[in-house]
Amino acid sequence: MSADAAPPKPSAAEAAASPTASPAVAYVQLAPGEPAPWFQQRSGANPRYVFDTAAGRWIVLCFFGSAGDAAGRAALDAVRANRALFDDERACFFGVSLDPRDEAEGRVADAMPGLRFFWDFDGTIARLYGAVPKDAAPDKGQVAMRRFWVVLDPTLRITRIFGFRPDGAETAELFAYLRSLPAPGRHAGFEVPPPVLILPNVFETAFCQRLIALYEAHGGAESGFMREVGGKTVELSDPAHKRRRDHVIADPEIVRQTQLRIQRRVVPEILKVHQFKVTRMERYLVACYAAEEGGHFRAHRDNTTRGTAHRRFAVSINLNADFAGGEVSFPEYGPRGFKMPAGAACVFSCSLLHRVAPVTEGRRYAFLPFLYDDAAAKIREANNAFLGEGVGEYKA
């Protein structure tokens, strides 16, 4: 990967206008086969874009620096010339700008589907990927920069890196490579099943019906999702991201009965497959995804805040089967959705990206706990200081 030559008129405001890197400057060095760094950064349409949620398709990151010079403009022109490749299903593009004038002057803009831009004026992304030195602060002035393209597979692992060339010839090679790639679900050369456990008969029919009756008797309250805001874990609500109603089980005997079944029918399988001894369980609720409300949950992970960092395994147990839609899928491993029979559990790592498709007919009822161990319980208790208002504290 070669360093970029300096444009004619470098300025502190235009971080991309930067001199050729000195050999003594320390950069992160990434290579194919390695996991791509995750980050959060402001984009054209999102003040806090969580990059790892984009998994499940081929991704092109372009560290073009600035659209205000010839090299940056040529790269973006090449993207526009190959616009059809980026449909958000098979592939998507993220341009990384270090130049505030790109935003201020409207030189680049998101174009849905498939084309997005990060405003990386503080160099958060560029440092992680080695576009600028590890200690660089582009928002403080001119920095040495390297410009290149990174192609990521649907599991967010690096497949190829194409350095900018003075004549821009790397773009033809890049787009030929993109056209040669298989469908995202076959990125490894064949369909790779997600690393989940499917366990039938965790809840018997009568117990499933008992839990549904409990929900119907008490109704459910709209539930949100956890985010980090100002250093605190808070619960947010956004019907476009999640639409579900939950009933929290208060009856101690029913809680005990759920614990007993999980302990005897799920915990031994987790120990066998993952060599992890579950000792704790979080959340006792009956969830309802209703077609009349467009019940769904967009792609997310279950342990990305300090208030949820202790979670190790998620369990999804369908309580009924008379509904359409509502499949659980794992985008990093393809589009295939799973609809478990009533009483069956789907068990998976809380780190896996997953989504619940919209329920199109009827209602999907489910029991949705999280499992962890004593060591994670200590983490959970230590993170009480980072819980926002309304997020209950925990004592191990």
Give me the mean pLDDT over the 257-266 stretch.
98
Q: What are phi and psi of 355, to 5 degrees?
A: -145, 160
Please state which of the ranges 30-34, 137-141, 286-290, 389-393 shows the lowest mean pLDDT. Answer: 389-393
Q: Do 284 and 243 belong to one domain?
A: yes
Q: Is there a domain that residue 19 lies in?
A: no
Q: Do 217 and 158 belong to one domain?
A: no
Choose the final residue of a domain: 186, 207, 235.
186
Partners of 97 in the β-ladder: 65, 119
For 284-294, what is each residue's pLDDT tens digit? 999 999 999 99
Residues 52 and 300 sit within 8 Å (Cβ to Cβ): no
pLDDT score for 237: 85
Q: Do 220 and 340 belong to one domain?
A: yes
Give me the mean pLDDT over the 122-141 stretch.
91
Q: In the chain, which ranges are continuous DSSP H helix?
A: 70-81, 100-104, 124-129, 170-180, 205-218, 252-265, 267-274, 374-382
CATH number at residue 370: 2.60.120.620
Q: Do 162 and 228 belong to one domain?
A: no
pLDDT score for 3: 35
Number of structural domains in the chain: 2
Q: Is there a domain that residue 191 lies in?
A: no
For 43-97, what is each residue's pLDDT tens digit? 999 999 999 999 999 999 999 999 999 999 999 999 999 999 999 999 999 999 9
Residues 170 and 319 sit within 8 Å (Cβ to Cβ): no
Enclosing domain of residue 168 = 40-186
Q: Do 233 and 350 belong to one domain?
A: yes
Q: Is there a domain that residue 163 lies in?
A: yes
Distance separating alpha carbons of residues 88 and 55, to the nearest angstrom: 10
Please state which of the ranges 106-115, 193-202, 220-229, 317-326 shows the lowest mean pLDDT. Answer: 220-229
pLDDT score for 343: 98
**In whole numbers, what is the pLDDT of the chain averaged over residues?**
91
